[in-house]
């Protein structure tokens, strides 16, 4: 059988790579400072807004962007659509990186990190706490993702006798690994929404609902599909490889279905609760921006143009990523109001730490696609 | 490519599964409300008796080892603007118009003390992943254990009163909040705020007794001569004065599922900065959603077995185009 995936084998250390390295170093330096001087020294977090950019972006958006592996696994393993299999590896790679960095970000964010291990002591955890579910599931999923990524690492060294043995073992365990790899994100991506139910009236009625878990799950799926398409098109463009056009066109249909379901449920929920959609001032604006970012790409994705024009799929994908990101920011920061007098906008070092983490992620991505069999083999 | 009928059915089934998982809280039975503990202790704060002397604030700092705060660098006194990691009890002022009449919403003013409400069914303890915030099983006091706290600050997101505060300027930060002078109670004493309050505006006691006392006050006719216990509801010492006007609402009796701190005032509590909360605790809402999905891990196991089956079948029988 011809290899399904191949490494790019081009130079790793390029100019953009060095720029990313500089950003990553800046971030690491600031992270060091945070451990010496406390969270207040590098962030604008305060007692009204105890969660900020790191939770909203690194954890919420970061893991949702890391849902590519999850979304593709559902298509391939649950719906038996093996034609998407060539996209699975790069999706798993972005997931591995996104989730690993989210886990790192959590350890930068929590104030008493030396007690962090207590989250994993069964007699210590509070089973009523949604955060426990989120933390344990994300922790477990990081491990599962690395296991899912192992074949890629092993294939590079397939001459080694041990590697072959392990590859076979992993293949045997695949149904269980894949199933757990689908269950865990279903659990924690929805629980990330459940987290904010307890904020009650502090979260604007435009976003506060018992359906938060469902909305977070559906929007994470939409982001997973979108990120897979965007990443596939971008890597084909930058690395000068053929585009996966027919596959992406079909994927666009699936994405449109998820987004449509999300929007219909979201609208029904708002109507049912009688949320003050039009009379919430600034929040109304943010609400419309968020939902237009869903609606406009949806219209393009169901139009016949999407089947032919990759630019349409690319732009729609980017819009959907922005929509999902904005939804998460709206739920965790914009729509959250602890009362008069509290304000939050991320501080410069806070932003640079996030940029540093993103840079690390991109550097790792570039390294892996160039040295390991991640991208689909050319077939046309 | 057109979506075939079979594909469509599969997608619909998948979407149904997800929707079911999300919607089930709507149909699941709510988590039952938490009752008050029989021996719960608390504080009754009566804004109409408060003279804004802030003796409770300085006593609180002294007995809890908290430093003074200079929010205005020119200030020569302890001047916190709000609760913080250095101030777990604060006396605030409401004013309107001329601000001349005490305890009047129009052209008047009112004091309001803010500190942890020691909720009957606290959001903070429900949220805390490691039980660092926990309710004393006998007294119901909501206490903090720094030895297990991971500093995630989810308690701050959860508390409807914004009570837990975080030491942002420390590399080894803690959560700080009122613990109803638990260390003094352990020695048979009682909270410093109540011990040093000159007017009985802050009154310590068993919540049962405090509720009785609050109801007695609401039943008084304005101007009628009456007595008010000092320091503790069972102290036996009283002040005598004529009954003030009250709004007929014991804040904390039912609000937010009930609290062990109760408040009386003659200015609406929303004007005094207290949130409008339903009679169910927010923790019961959140846990209803959460438990519907995760009670006994039944749903996850079911989904997992379904997934293993599907993946196994589909990896052995690849549906290639
Ligand atoms: S007022 Fe806030 S901190 Fe105090 S017990 Fe209630 S939820 Fe917890
Ligand atoms: S910051 Fe500490 S006390 Fe607050 S929820 Fe997290 S672990 Fe619990
Ligand atoms: S000590 Fe009593 S009277 Fe003085 S401010 Fe505090 S509650 Fe009011």
**pLDDT above 90 (res A64):** yes
The stretch A86-111 carries a mean pLDDT of 93
Q: Average pLDDT of A87-116?
A: 94
In angstroms, the first-to-last Cα distance of chain B is 12
- Look at residue A164 in the predicted model and tell me its pLDDT: 86
Please list every residue in chain A whose beta carbon sits closer than 8 Å to the beta carbon of residue B21: 186, 190, 213-214, 217
**For residue B206, which of B23, B44, B27, B24 has the smallest C-alpha distance?**
B44
B283 touches chain A (CB under 8 A): yes
Please tell me the distance in Å from B106's CA to the nearest CA on chain A. Answer: 21
Question: Token pair 């699941």 is at which residue?
Answer: B28
Contact B299, B21 (CB under 8 A): yes
User: What pLDDT does residue A291 have?
Assistant: 97
Model confidence at B18: pLDDT above 60? no
Contact between B1 and A112 using a beta-carbon 8 Å cutoff: no
Question: Residue B13 pLDDT > 50, yes or no?
Answer: no
At residue B18, the 3 state secondary structure works out as helix
Tens-digit pLDDT profile for residues A286-298: 999 999 999 999 9
Instruction: Identify the residue whose C-alpha is closest to ligand 1 atom 2.
Output: B159
pLDDT by residue (tens digit) across B73-87?
Answer: 888 888 899 999 999
Whether B285 shows a pLDDT value over 60: the answer reads yes
| Distance of alpha carbon A244 from alpha carbon A231, whole angstroms | 11
Residue among B21, B29, B126, B127 with most chain A CBs within 10 A, to mutate? B127
Beta-carbon separation of B150 and A249 below 8 A: no
pLDDT bin (cut points 50, 70, 90) of residue A75 is: confident
Of A65-79, A247-261, A366-380, B131-145, the range with the lowest mean pLDDT is A366-380
Residues with CB under 6 Å of ligand 1 are B 116-119, 122-124, 142, 159, 161, 163-164, 177
Ligand 3, atom 2, residue with closest C-alpha: B197
Asked whether the beta carbons of residue B289 and residue A197 sit closer than 8 angstroms, the reply is: yes
Neighbours of B232 (CB within 10 A): 20
Strands B41-46 and B261-264: parallel
Tell me the ipTM for this assembly: 0.93
E-strand stretches of A258-380: 375-376
Residue B1 scores a pLDDT above 70? no
Please, how many CA atoms are within 13 Å of residue A272, restricted to the half-sphere of its CB?
11
The answer to whether B251 touches B263, Cβ cutoff 8 Å, is yes
Please say if the pLDDT value at position B20 is more than 60: no
Pocket test for ligand 1, best of B40, B41, B124, B262 (most atoms within 8 A of CB): B124
When pLDDT is cut at 50, 70 and 90, the band that residue B319 belongs to is: low
* Cβ-defined contact of A112 to B22 (cutoff 8 Å): no
Which pLDDT does position B300 carry in this prediction?
84
CB atoms within 10 A of CB B8: 12
Average pLDDT of chain B to the nearest whole number: 89
Kindly indicate the confidence band of residue B14, based on its pLDDT and cuts at 50, 70 and 90: very low
| β-sheet bridge partners, residue B113 | B91
| Protein residue with least CA distance to atom 8, ligand 1 | B124
Looking at the complex, does the CB of residue B218 fall below 8 Å from at least one CB of chain A? no
Residue A235: the pLDDT is: 86
Q: Cα A302 to the chain's mean position, in Å? A: 24
Query: Closest Cα of chain B to A203: distance in Å?
Result: 10
For the record, the structure tokens of B170 come out as 């420390």
What distance in Å separates the CA atoms of residue A31 and residue A363, rounded to the nearest whole number? Answer: 18
Cα of A172 vs centre of ligand 3, distance in Å, is: 71
What SS3 state is found at A8?
coil
Q: How confident is the model at residue B23 (pLDDT cuts 50, 70, 90)?
A: very low
Q: How many angstroms separate the Cα of A224 from the Cα of each of A108, A189, B167? A: 25, 11, 37
Q: Do B314 and A35 touch (CB under 8 A)?
A: no
In terms of pLDDT, which residue wins out, A252 or B317? A252
Rounded Cα distance, A30 and B61, in Å: 34
Higher pLDDT, A166 or B157: B157
State whether the Cα torsion A137-A139-A143-A149 is positive or negative.
Answer: positive
Q: What is the pLDDT of residue A3?
A: 65
User: Percent of chain B at pLDDT above 90?
Assistant: 74
Residue B9 has pLDDT above 60, yes or no: no
Task: Tell me the C-alpha to C-alpha distance, in Å, between residue A98 and each of A104, A161, A168, A358, A363.
Answer: 10, 31, 27, 9, 12
Mean pLDDT of chain A: 92
Span A10-55, pLDDT tens digits: 888 899 999 999 999 999 999 999 999 999 999 999 999 999 999 9
Q: State mean pLDDT over A359-366.
A: 95
Summarize pLDDT for B237-284 with one digit per residue, the tens: 999 999 999 999 999 999 999 999 999 999 999 999 999 999 999 998
Which pLDDT score is estimated for A240?
86
pLDDT for residue A218: 96
A127 vs B176: which has the higher pLDDT: B176
Tell me the C-alpha distance between B58 and B91, whole Å: 11
List CB contacts of A67: < 8 A, sequence separation 6 or more. A95, A185, A189, A220, A221, A223, A224, A227
Average pLDDT for residues A193-209, to the nearest whole number?
Answer: 96
């Amino acid at each position: 059988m011809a290899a399904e995936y191949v490494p790019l084998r081009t130079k790793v250390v390029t100019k953009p790579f060095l720029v990313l390295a500089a950003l990553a170093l800046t971030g690491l330096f600031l992270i060091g400072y945070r451990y010496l001087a406390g969270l207040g020294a590098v962030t604008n977090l305060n007692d009204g807004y105890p969660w900020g950019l790191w939770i909203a972006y690194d954890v919420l958006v970061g893991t949702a962007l890391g849902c590519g592996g999850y979304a593709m696994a559902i298509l391939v393993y649950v719906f038996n659509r093996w034609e998407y299999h060539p996209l699975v590896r790069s999706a798993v790679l972005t997931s591995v990186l996104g989730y690993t960095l989210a886990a790192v970000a959590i350890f930068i964010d929590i104030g008493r990190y030396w007690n962090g291990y207590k989250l994993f002591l069964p007699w210590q955890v509070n089973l009523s706490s949604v955060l426990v579910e989120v933390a344990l599931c994300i922790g477990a999923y990081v491990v599962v993702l690395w296991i899912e990524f192992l074949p890629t690492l092993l294939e590079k060294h397939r001459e080694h006798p041990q590697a072959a043995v392990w590859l076979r073992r992993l293949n045997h365990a695949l149904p269980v690994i894949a199933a757990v790899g689908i269950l865990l994100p279903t659990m924690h991506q929805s629980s990330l929404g459940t987290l904010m139910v307890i904020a009650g009236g502090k979260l604007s009625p435009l976003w506060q609902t018992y359906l938060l878990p469902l909305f977070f799950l559906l929007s994470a799926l939409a982001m997973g599909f979108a990120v897979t398409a965007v990443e596939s098109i971008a890597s084909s463009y930058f690395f000068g490889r053929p585009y996966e056009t027919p596959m992406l066109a079909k994927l666009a249909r699936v994405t449109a279905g998820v987004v449509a379901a999300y929007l219909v449920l979201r609208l029904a929920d708002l109507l049912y609760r009688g949320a003050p959609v039009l009379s919430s001032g600034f929040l109304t604006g943010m609400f419309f921006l968020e939902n237009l970012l869903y609606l406009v790409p949806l219209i393009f994705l169901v139009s016949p143009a999407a089947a032919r024009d990759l630019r349409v799929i690319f732009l729609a994908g980017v819009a959907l990523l922005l929509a999902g990101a904005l939804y998460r920011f709206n739920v965790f920061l914009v729509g959250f109001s602890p009362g008069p007098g509290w304000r939050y906008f991320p501080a410069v070092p806070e932003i640079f730490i996030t940029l540093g983490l993103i840079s690390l992620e991109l550097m790792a991505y570039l390294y892996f696609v160039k040295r390991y069999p991640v991208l689909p083999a050319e077939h046309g | 490519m057109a979506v075939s009928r079979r594909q469509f059915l599969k997608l619909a089934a998948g979407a149904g599964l997800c929707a079911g998982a999300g919607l089930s809280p709507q149909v699941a039975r709510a988590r039952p409300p938490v009752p008050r503990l029989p021996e719960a202790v608390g504080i009754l704060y009566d804004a109409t008796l408060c003279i804004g002397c802030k003796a409770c604030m300085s006593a609180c700092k002294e007995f809890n080892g908290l430093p003074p705060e200079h929010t205005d660098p020119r200030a020569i006194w302890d001047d916190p603007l709000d609760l913080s990691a250095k101030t777990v009890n604060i006396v605030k002022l409401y004013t309107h118009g001329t601000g001349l009449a005490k305890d009047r919403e129009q052209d008047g003013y009112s004091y309001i003390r803010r500190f942890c409400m020691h909720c009957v069914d606290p959001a903070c303890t429900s949220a805390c992943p490691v039980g660092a915030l926990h309710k004393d099983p006998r007294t119901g006091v909501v206490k903090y254990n720094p030895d297990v706290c991971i500093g995630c600050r989810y308690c701050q997101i959860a508390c409807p009163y914004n009570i837990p505060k975080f030491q942002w300027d420390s590399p080894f930060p803690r959560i700080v909040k009122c613990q109803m002078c638990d260390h003094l109670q352990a020695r048979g004493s009682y909270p410093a705020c109540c011990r040093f309050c000159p007017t009985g505006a802050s009154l310590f006691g068993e919540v049962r007794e405090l509720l009785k006392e609050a109801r007695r006050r609401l039943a008084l006719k304005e101007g009628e001569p009456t007595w008010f216990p000092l320091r503790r509801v069972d102290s036996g010492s009283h002040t005598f004065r004529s009954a003030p006007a009250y709004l007929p609402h014991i804040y904390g009796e039912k609000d937010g599922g009930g609290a062990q701190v109760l408040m009386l005032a003659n200015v609406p509590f929303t004007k005094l900065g207290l949130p409008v909360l339903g009679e169910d605790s927010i923790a019961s809402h959140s846990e209803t959603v959460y438990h519907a999905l995760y009670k006994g891990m039944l749903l996850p196991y079911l989904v997992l077995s379904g997934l293993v089956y599907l993946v196994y079948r589909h990896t052995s029988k690849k549906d290639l185009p």
